[in-house]
Chains A and B, each alone.
Chain A
Amino acid sequence: MSKEIKPKRRDFLFTATYTIGAVGLGAAIWPLIDQMNPDSSVKALSTTEVDVSSVEVGKTITVLWRGKPIFIRRRTKKEIDEAAAVDLKDLKDPEKDSDRAKNPEWLVMVGVCTHLGCVPLGNKGEYNGWFCPCHGSHYDTSGRVRKGPAPNNLEIPKYEFLDNNTIKIG
């Protein structure tokens, strides 16, 4: 007696009702979740222009972009050479210095440790670059992570030189 169980009209109606109900509920919940994402006024503040004419060799300035500190460092010859001489095999997150600083004299980075978001301290640490006081990550003179719990190099934001003295970040 192999009587095949045929889906009934009512089964179809139930399934259709649940599906429409789930979609409707999802559509109602989405605005409540999405309202927490960055809003238009936050997104609008997406570029900053910085005058760097007063920055001397070996100095760093810190500017705020999207609520985050941006380090702009005019590197010394020694730092550039050190950064270029590093063997990529020694790096946790291999990146060439020339890819990070298009103009080798200027290093522009987001000054936020890639571990848990603290601001690293300059001219510190075992690689003469940056050192994060929170959980002990060391970065070199190119801002690449060399030691500690941070998984990545300090982020390079999108930027360009508008002229010799002005950098546009974002």
Chain B
Amino acid sequence: MSGEKYIPKSKLAQWFDSRLPLLTLSHHLTEYPTPKNLNYWWTFGGILTIFLITQIVTGIVLAMHYVPHVDHAFESVEHIMRDVNYGWLIRYAHANGASMFFLAVYIHIFRGLFYGSYKSPREMIWITGLIIYLLMMATAFMGYVLPWGQMSFWAATVITNLFSAIPLFGENVTEWLWGGFSVDNPTLIRFYSLHYLFPFLIFGLVVLHIWALHVPGNNNPVGIDVKKNGNETMPFHPYMVMKDLTALLVFLIIYLWFVFFAPNVLGHPDNYIEANPLVTPPHIVPEWYLLPFYAILRAIPSKLGGVIFMFASIFILMALPWLDTSKVRSSVFRPIYRKFFWVLVVVVILLGYLGAKPPEGIYLILARIATAYYFIHFLVLLPILGRYEKTDPLPMSISDPVLNKQDLMDKFKKTVTQYEGDDVDSFK
């Protein structure tokens, strides 16, 4: 990336690096050129990496005390909460960490949508990111089943039953997933096994995601290509590292507020009742981060249709780089798309709200309208906008929007004149 080939200084380091180029990799990562205009919305990739590590570390520790068996799972979670040293802290950090992980990933995804980060040549970054997101949802769901409370059990029942909507093989598939005729001990144990595995798959995909990122380099708020060898980039370390750390600290404050002051506010009290296959709680809802999809599932008045639309709402994002045909990346220069972007944000939040409400009356009608709009946004609005929208003129460089402001330049000239005399142009 950064021009010349890196050669370590000492003989020993040269010997090592020519055999295992870890030093070259480290040099590439620290010197990686980032656009100088990246704003705080670009710090969520780093935040997500830290949260993945937090979840893996707290998860490994919890696995030392948890027992994956229907007779002991619920008790062992209470044992972690009451008896294990700092068990309460580790479990609350893990449970709320999952929520914050999703909060950060949603901000990260919507940042990509706003600034057109999914567009050529960054399609593979976008697609690997979506696969990570799918794995995150599967991991979170299986993790939610492990405490074996009422919500765990019924979440497992409802989600695995989604597959019974598959024509012909539906029942075979669900029995295969369960390892029996209902959600039971075999189901719990396999979920535990996979819940342990998936974060490492996510980790591997994160490596691919970053690798794909480092080929074209970062997009930026202006959305035009940066000149790699001009004065438009800065080394990742220390500049972006410091910015990422600042954002991380603010995000950690919010996270730890939940952990210490409201550790159960994002959960559901029914999950402190042990699983009972004979009684479904009167009002079952998934965790907040899955609610929009739950609303779509329930908005369609057919079992198979609901399942198809729910999965389609995620897979449609895979096709986004080809559905949005506009050559202009950043919404800053797309006056009409920008408005629809915010409508989409409101619609997704509305779907989340409706997913938590019973599927009847006005809630059901709104959920149907919002579901229809969600698909219209991607399938109709984006292709039309790409063709007919009149975009604003793009600046020549990423510096222009900052420097080409007359009053700013006048002020700058005045200051410079004080020190340099009248020969300002030579300074410039």
11 pairs from A and B in contact (CB 8 Å cutoff)? A62-B278, A64-B277, A64-B278, A66-B180, A67-B181, A116-B164, A119-B277, A119-B278, A119-B279, A149-B301, A151-B302
Distance to closest chain A CB from B379 (angstroms): 24
As a 0/1 sequence over residues 34 to 58 of chain A, the CB contacts with chain B under 8 angstroms (1 = contact) are: 0011110010000000000000000
Name the prevailing secondary structure of the B interface residues: loop
Closest 5 CB pairs of A and B: A67-B182, A66-B181, A117-B161, A116-B161, A118-B280
Listed residue (B180, B184, B298, B306) with the most chain A CB atoms within 10 angstroms of its CB: B180
User: Residue of A at shortest CB range from B277?
Assistant: A67
Nearest Cβ on chain B to A6's Cβ, whole angstroms: 42
Report the Cα distance A151→B302, complex, angstroms: 7
Taking CB atoms, residues of chain B closer than 8 Å to A59 are: none
**Of A8-16, A131-139, A159-167, the one with at least 4 CB within 8 A of chain B:** A131-139
Contact residues in A for B179 (Cβ distance below 8 Å): 36-39, 42
Task: Flag if A150 contacts B175 (CB, 8 Å).
Answer: no
Cβ contacts under 8 Å, B301 to chain A? 149
B180 adjacent to A116 (CB under 8 Å): no
A77 at the interface (CB under 8 A from B): no
Cα separation A133 to B175 with both chains bound (whole Å): 24
Q: Hey, which chain A residues are within 8 Å of B157, CB to CB? A: 116-118
B16 contacts the other chain (Cβ, under 8 Å)? Answer: no
Chain B residues within 8 Å of A149, by CB: 298, 300-303, 306
B 133-171 contacts with A by CB, 8 A: 154, 157-158, 160-162, 164
Interface contacts beyond A36-B179, A38-B178, A117-B158: sample of 12 additional A-B pairs, CB < 8 Å, sorted by A: A39-B186, A62-B278, A66-B180, A67-B182, A69-B277, A112-B182, A115-B303, A116-B164, A119-B278, A133-B282, A136-B358, A149-B301
- When the two chains form their complex, are residues A38 and B190 in contact, meaning their CB atoms are under 8 A apart? no
Task: Say if the beta carbon of A102 comes within 8 Å of chain B.
Answer: no
State the CA gap A132–B283 with chains docked (Å).
10
With known contacts A67-B184, A116-B162, A118-B158, A134–B278 Cβ distance under 8 A: no
Q: Does B177 contact A (CB under 8 A)?
A: yes
Q: Is the CB of A133 within 8 A of B277?
A: no
- Assembly CA distance A114 to B161 (angstroms): 9
Q: Are B154 and A37 in contact (CB under 8 A)?
A: no
Closest to A35 in B: B179
* Alpha-carbon separation in the docked complex, A151 to B178 (Å): 21
The reply to whether B302 and A134 form a contact with Cβ atoms under 8 Å apart is no
Given contacts A42-B180, A116-B157, A116-B161, contact A135 B298 (CB under 8 A): yes
A67 with B278, Cβ < 8 A, contacts A118-B154, A133-B283 known: no
B284 touches A (CB below 8 Å): yes
Contact B158 A134 (CB under 8 A): yes
**CB neighbours of A150 from chain B (8 A):** 303
Give Cα A7 to B184, complex, Å: 55
B176 proximal to A (CB < 8 A): yes
B interface list, Cβ under 8 A from A: 154, 157-158, 160-162, 164, 175-184, 186, 190, 277-284, 298, 300-304, 306, 358-360
Q: Please state if A118 and B277 are interface contacts (CB–CB under 8 Å).
A: no
Hey, which chain B residues are within 8 Å of A68, CB to CB?
Answer: 181-182, 277
- Give the nearest-CB partner of A38 in chain B: B180
Question: How close is A125's CB to chain B, nearest CB, in angstroms?
Answer: 12
B176 to chain A, nearest CB (A): 5
Task: Encode A84-120 as 1/0 by CB contact (under 8 A) with B.
Answer: 0000000000000000000000000000101111110
Closest Cβ–Cβ distance, residue A64 to chain B (whole Å): 7
Chain B nearest CB, measured from A114 CB (Å)? 8
Residues of B within 8 A of A66 (CB): 180-182
Among B157, B182, B282, the most chain A Cβ lie within 10 Å of the Cβ of B182
Q: How far is the CA of A80 from the CA of B395 in the complex (A)?
A: 77
Shortest C-beta distance, A61 to chain B (Å), equals: 11
A37 touches B176 (CB 8 A): yes
Rounded to whole Å, the gap between the CB of A155 and the closest CB of chain B is: 10
B304 proximity list for chain A (CB < 8 A): 151
The answer for the CA separation of A58 and B360 in the assembled complex, in Å, is 29
User: Which B residues are in CB contact (< 8 Å) with A151?
Assistant: 302-304
How far apart sit A151 and B170, CA to CA, in the bound complex (Å)?
13
Would you give the shortest CB distance from A42 to chain B, in whole angstroms? 5
Q: Is the CB of A42 within 8 A of B283?
A: no
Contact B180 A67 (CB under 8 A): yes
- Docked complex Cα distance between A119 and B283 (Å): 12
Taking the closest CB of chain A, its distance from the CB of B180, in whole angstroms, is: 5
